[in-house]
Structure 1
Amino acid sequence: MQSELQAENQALREQLQALLQEARRNEDKMRRFERLEHQLIAAESLQALLSLLLQAYAQAFAIDRVSLVLVDSEREISRLLQANAGSREHLNETLPGLQLLPSALQLQALYGPHSKPLLGRFDPATHAALLGGEAASAGLGSVALLPLARHGQLIGGLHFGSVDPQRYDPATGTQLLERLSLIVAVCLESAINQERLKLTGLTDVLTGVHNRRYFEHRCLIEIAQARRYRHPLACLFFDLDHFKSINDSHGHPVGDEVLRGVGHLVQGQLRAGDTIARYGGEEFVLLLPQTAEPFAREIAERIRASLAQQRFVAAGGTSGQSQVLSVTASIGLAMLNNDNAGIDAAVLASELISDADQALYRAKQGGRNRVELARRPS
C-alpha cells in the first residue's frame, strides 16, 4: 500500500513538473513574442519590418523556413523597396523569402473565405511555391500559413515551415498566430503608408517622375551596386531644345503640360530598374544600371527619336485653344568610370553627372536633337 502511494505521489510530482516546465516554456514564448511584437511596431522602414519578419522571427522561434508573400498588383511595394535597396538582385539577397504576387487569387484559393491560420503536414504540391520553391522547402514536415488581411482584403501571407512533422499540428490552438497575423498586417499597412510619404517628398510634383533629391540618393545606391557586382552604369542627361520659346509663345501652363508629357513618354520606355528624374527646369536625368555603352546609346537614340516624333496636345495656353506641339531633346551620355577603386561614391556620382552634362552641352553646340558621348581623358 505504501509503495503504491509513493508511486502515485511520484507520478503526480512528475506531472506537476511537466506542467511547470510547459508553463515556463509558454511564458518564455510569450516574452519572445512580445519582444518581437515591439520590434515590429518600432520598425523604422518597410525593409526593416520585412527583415524582422523573415529573419528575426525565424531565429527567435527556431523556425526552419519563413516566407512572406505580399500582393503587389500595382508593383508599388517593389518600387518602394527598390528605391532604398537598389537592384532586384540586392533586394533578393537582403530579403530572402519575400515574394510579390500580381494578384491575390493564389492566396484566396489557399485560405478560402474564412482567412484563418492553416496548420498541418507539408504538402509539396500545395506549399512548396509559397515557401520559396522545391529547393527552399526541401525536408519540411509541417507548415503554419498565416493570412494577412486589412479592411476585409487579403494583402498577403506569412508562412512558417518546420522539419518536425508534429510542430504545426492542426489540433493546436491558433490564437497566438491569429494575433501575430493581425499585428503583422497592421504594421505592413503602416510601413507602406510611411514609405509612400517618404516617396512623395522625392517626387517631382509637376511631372510625376522622381526629383533631383531622389536621383542623388539613388545615384549613390546604383554606384555601390555597380562596384559590388562589377556592372556597367550609364547616365543620360537630356534637355529639351528651345523650350523657352514654348513658354514664351504659348504660356507656362502649356509648357507644364509638355513637361508632363515628356516625363510620361520617357518613363514608359524604361526598364523596371531604371531611374528617371527631373533635374531642374526642362532638364531630365536617367540612370541605366547593368547597361553597357552600346546599349545605353541605343536607348538614348530611341528616346531622342520618340520625343522628336511625339506630338503633345496641350489645352489652353495664351490663345485659349488646344495646342499641338513637338519638341526635340539633346542628350549627353556618360558611363561610370571603371577605374574607381578608393574613390568616394559621392565623388564618382558628381563626376558621372558632370560628364553627362558636358556631353549634353556638346550636343547643344553640335546642332541639338542629337546624342553625344562623354569624352574620356586620354
Structure 2
Amino acid sequence: MRPGNGETSMAEKILILSERQEDLRLFRETLQTRGFEIETGAIPGEIRRAVEQNAYAAILADYDLLGDRVFDLAGVLRHDRIGTSIIIYGETFEPDTVSEMLQQGVYAVVPRRRLSKGIRDTVVGGLENRKTFMEILGMVDELEETNQRLEKERENLRRKIRELRFINRLSEKISYDLCWDNIMDGILDAGLLKVLDPALLALLYRMGSRWHLSLYLPGSRISRAGMETLKKEMAERFLGLSGKRISPVEMILHLTPARLPALRLARKNGHEPPEARFMAGDSAVLHPLGLGDSVLGMLAVAPGGGNPGWKRDRELISTLSNILAMSLKNAQEYHRLKEAAVTDGLTGIHNHKGFVDFIQREFQRALRYRKPLSLVMIDVDEFKSINDGLGHPAGDHVLRGLAGCLKAALRKSDIVARYGGDEFALLLPETDSARARALMKRVVNAINRHRFEWGSEKIRVDISYGIATTSESDGIRKEEDLIRTADARLYHAKRSLRLLCPAARTA
C-alpha cells in the first residue's frame, strides 16, 4: 500500500466512475501525482467484470451520477469477497443513505465540497483498510482450509477405526474357525458392510475334494443363466490367478442372502444384474487366498455404485484376504484330519465314527422336515470261510471290492459306511422303504456283475441286508431305534435264508 514517507511502493490502480471533468482533474492532480494509476469509466459490463477480477485497489464513484447503482457495485464486492475499497462522493447525502452504504461495505462517503482537502487521506485509509481486509480474508481462508483438512483427517480416522474394529471382530470370529459352511455370514456379522459397499463378494475355495463358491449379492436378483456365467467367470479368473483349472459345473454354490429371487430376464427396469457389473472390465478386485506359494482359493470383490473411495479400499481388501487365507488353511487342515478320523483305512468309505455323525445329523433333519430316512444294514454271507480258506488279505480284497460296488450303485446324496468287520451301513436320505428296496436291487446287481478274484481263485460274494425307515413305524423315535430295527431285520434275513435274488437274502 503506502510507505511511511507518503509515497506508494508500487502503482495502485484507482477507478474513477464520474463524468464531471473537474472531478477527474482534481483526482489526477491529487492522486496521480502521488504515484497512483488513475483509470476512468462508467458502470458497463466490462467494468463490472474488471471489478470482479479484482483489478482495482480502490473505486471512487460519483453518487450523483450512479445513484443507487452504487449498492449493486458494493454488493458485488462484498458477495465475491473482492478486496477493492469503494469510496462514494456526492453533493449531499441523507443520513439513512450513508448508514446503508456503510452497511453494504462502502469504506467512506465524502461530500463533494471536501474532496480537495480530504480525498488523498481517505484513499490512503481505504487502501490500508483493503490491506487489513485481505489479510483477514487470507486468515479466514486458511482457517477454512485447516478446518476442512482436520475434518478430512477426522473422517479418515473414523474410517480407520471402523476398519480396525471390523478386522479385530473378523479375526476373532473366523481366524480359528474350523468350519467354513457359513463363512460368508461370519464375514458379514463381523461388520463388513460398515467398511465396504460391494455389489458382489465372492469366495472360491476348496474343501477336501470339492470346490465351493460362496456369494454375497446384496438385495439382488440373479438369473440362472447369469449364475452359470458368473461361475464360469470365477473359474477363468482363478485359472489366470493360480494356473489351476476347475470345472464350474462341480462348484457347490452358497448364496447370501440364502434365498435370492430368480430373474427370468438378464435385464429388468434398465438395471444391470450384479454378475454383469462384476465381469465388466477390471473393476473387480481379485486376491488369491494363499500362504506362501500355495493358492488355496480366491477372493473377488466388485465395487458398489456409490463408492468413491474404492481404490482406497484395496488395502482393506488385501488385509481381508490374508485373514481369510489363514482361516481357510486351518479349516482345510481340520477337514483333512476330520475326514481321516471318519474314513475307513481299508475301504476308503466312512468308518463307524463317520456313520454315527451322519446318522445323528440326518435323523434330526428327517424329523425336522418330515422326510423319510432309510437305513440298510448289510452283512457278507460266509465271510469267515473266505478268510479261513484264502487268508485275511483275500478277505480285505473282498471288502474293498464290495465298498466300490456300493458307492457305484448309490446316489451322491447317499452315505456308505463300514459299520464294523464285514458289516456295512447305507444311509438313504429322503428315501422311503419302497425306494430303498429298489436301490438295493441295483446294489445286488452291481455285486453280481463284479468279478471278485484272488489270484486264480474266483470268490462268490453274497450279502444279506435289513431295511428300516423312519416313516414306517411310530416306534422309531431316535437313531438308535432305526439302527436296532435294521440290524434285527438283517439277522432275521440271515436266519431265515429266504432268497430274493442269487446274491442276497433280506428281511
**Residue identity matched to 1:25:** R
Q: Equivalents in 2 of 1:294, 1:168: separation in Å?
A: 61
Q: Equivalents in 1 of 2:340, 2:255: separation in Å?
A: 33
8 Å CA contact 1:148–1:181 kept in 2: the answer is yes
> Which of 340, 347, 350 does residue 207 from structure 1 map onto?
347
1:222-259: CA deviation from partner (whole Å, max 9, x where unpaired): 01111222211111111011111101111111111111
Partner of 1:148: 289
Moved more, 242-251 or 182-191: 182-191
Tell me the secondary structure at the aligned position of residue 327 of structure 1. Answer: coil
> Which of 312, 325, 335 does residue 469 from structure 2 map onto?
335
Q: Equivalents in 1 of 2:357, 2:440: separation in Å?
A: 23
Partner of 1:179: 319
Tell me the secondary structure at the aligned position of residue 110 of structure 1. Answer: helix
> Which of 216, 229, 236 does residue 109 from structure 1 map onto?
236
Partner of 1:356: 486
Deviation at 1:154, TM superposition (A): 4.4
Partner of 1:257: 397
8 Å CA contact 1:359–1:372 kept in 2: the answer is yes
Provide structure 1 residue ranges, at least 5 long, that are not aligned to the other structure: 79-91, 116-128, 315-320, 374-378
Deviation at 1:153, TM superposition (A): 5.4
> Which of 352, 362, 366 does residue 226 from structure 1 map onto?
366
Tell me the secondary structure at the aligned position of residue 175 of structure 2. Answer: helix
Alignment of 1:114-125 (within 5 A): none
Q: Does 1:166 align with 2:293?
A: no
Q: Equivalents in 2 of 1:147, 1:168: separation in Å?
A: 22
Deviation at 1:331, TM superposition (A): 1.2
**Residue identity matched to 1:33:** I
> Which of 205, 212, 217 does residue 70 from structure 1 map onto?
205
Deviation at 1:260, TM superposition (A): 1.2
Deviation at 1:324, TM superposition (A): 2.5
Cα pair distance change 1:310/1:67, threshold 3 Å:
same
Deviation at 1:312, TM superposition (A): 1.4
**Residue identity matched to 1:109:** E
Partner of 2:495: 365
Q: Equivalents in 1 of 2:175, 2:402: separation in Å?
A: 41
Q: Equivalents in 2 of 1:62, 1:175: separation in Å?
A: 12
Q: Equivalents in 1 of 2:444, 2:239: separation in Å?
A: 50
Cα pair distance change 1:338/1:20, threshold 3 Å:
farther
Deviation at 1:210, TM superposition (A): 0.9
1:240-286: CA deviation from partner (whole Å, max 9, x where unpaired): 11111101111111111111111122112222221111111111011
Q: Does 1:293 align with 2:456?
A: no
Tell me the secondary structure at the aligned position of residue 46 of structure 1. Answer: coil
8 Å CA contact 1:143–1:168 kept in 2: the answer is no
Identity of aligned residues (%): 29
**Residue identity matched to 2:336:** R
8 Å CA contact 1:54–1:96 kept in 2: the answer is no
Higher relative contact order (CA 8 A, sep 6+): 1
Cα pair distance change 1:131/1:309, threshold 3 Å:
closer
Q: Equivalents in 2 of 1:255, 1:38: separation in Å?
A: 50
1:20-72: CA deviation from partner (whole Å, max 9, x where unpaired): 22123213312321331243222143336554236545455464653322256
Tell me the secondary structure at the aligned position of residue 468 of structure 2. Answer: strand
Tell me the secondary structure at the aligned position of residue 471 of structure 2. Answer: coil
Deviation at 1:5, TM superposition (A): 1.7
**Residue identity matched to 1:12:** T
Q: Does 1:28 align with 2:162?
A: yes
Tell me the secondary structure at the aligned position of residue 312 of structure 2. Answer: coil
8 Å CA contact 1:139–1:163 kept in 2: the answer is no
TM-score between the two structures when normalised by the length of structure 1: 0.74
Partner of 2:330: 190
8 Å CA contact 1:63–1:160 kept in 2: the answer is no
**Residue identity matched to 2:400:** R
Tell me the secondary structure at the aligned position of residue 379 of structure 2. Answer: strand
8 Å CA contact 2:376–2:467 kept in 1: the answer is yes
Q: Does 1:237 align with 2:237?
A: no
**Residue identity matched to 2:236:** A
8 Å CA contact 1:69–1:130 kept in 2: the answer is no
8 Å CA contact 1:240–1:328 kept in 2: the answer is yes
8 Å CA contact 1:130–1:159 kept in 2: the answer is no
Q: Equivalents in 2 of 1:185, 1:174: separation in Å?
A: 16
Partner of 1:277: 417
Q: Equivalents in 2 of 1:304, 1:228: separation in Å?
A: 32
Q: Does 1:46 align with 2:180?
A: yes
Q: Equivalents in 2 of 1:4, 1:238: separation in Å?
A: 92
TM-score between the two structures when normalised by the length of structure 2: 0.57
8 Å CA contact 1:336–1:352 kept in 2: the answer is yes
**Residue identity matched to 1:21:** E
Cα pair distance change 1:50/1:242, threshold 3 Å:
farther
Larger radius of gyration: 2
Cα pair distance change 1:5/1:74, threshold 3 Å:
same
Q: Equivalents in 1 of 2:472, 2:193: separation in Å?
A: 40
Q: Equivalents in 2 of 1:350, 1:262: separation in Å?
A: 25
Q: Equivalents in 2 of 1:16, 1:303: separation in Å?
A: 75
Deviation at 1:190, TM superposition (A): 2.2
8 Å CA contact 1:54–1:97 kept in 2: the answer is no
**Residue identity matched to 1:158:** L
Q: Equivalents in 2 of 1:47, 1:306: separation in Å?
A: 34
Q: Equivalents in 1 of 2:316, 2:188: separation in Å?
A: 18
